[in-house]
C-alpha cells in the first residue's frame, strides 16, 4: 500500500476521531452526569420535571418518586421524569 492509497483511509480515520470527540464523547459525559444526579436524589430536594413542574421530593421508592407540587398537592412520578435538581433541600430549605 503506497501513500496515495493510504491517504483516503487516513482521512476517514481523522474524520471519525474528530466526530467522536466533538459529538459522541460530550453526549456520553452528559448522560453520565444525569444518571449520577438521579442516583443522588434524596428526600427534600427541589426538582424540575421534564414537564416543567417544580416540586419537592417527599418520598423515594425504587424508581418512583412522590413529589409535592404545592401544599397538600402530591403526585407520583418516575425518577427519570426529573430533569434537574433546582437546589438541594433538607431541613429548612
- Residue identified by cell 398537592 is 73
- For 21-53, the pLDDT digits (tens) are 998 999 999 999 999 999 999 999 999 999 999
Percent of the chain with pLDDT over 90: 77
Residue 92 confidence class, pLDDT cut points 50, 70, 90: very low
Handedness of CA 82, 87, 89, 93 (dihedral sign): negative
Question: What's the Rg (C-alpha) of the chain?
Answer: 22
CB 55 within 8 Å of CB 68 = yes
Q: What is residue 28's three-state secondary structure? A: helix
Reported pTM: 0.74
- For 6-23, the pLDDT digits (tens) are 888 899 999 999 999 998
Amino acid at each position: 500500500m503506497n501513500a496515495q492509497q493510504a491517504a483516503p483511509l487516513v482521512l476517514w480515520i481523522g474524520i471519525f476521531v474528530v466526530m467522536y470527540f466533538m459529538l459522541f464523547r460530550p453526549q456520553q459525559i452528559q448522560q453520565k452526569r444525569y444518571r449520577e444526579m438521579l442516583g443522588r436524589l434524596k428526600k427534600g430536594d427541589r426538582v424540575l420535571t421534564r414537564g416543567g413542574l417544580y416540586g419537592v421530593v417527599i418520598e423515594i421508592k425504587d424508581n418512583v418518586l412522590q413529589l409535592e407540587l404545592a401544599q397538600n398537592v402530591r403526585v407520583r412520578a418516575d425518577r427519570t421524569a426529573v430533569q434537574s435538581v433546582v437546589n438541594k433541600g433538607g431541613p429548612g430549605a
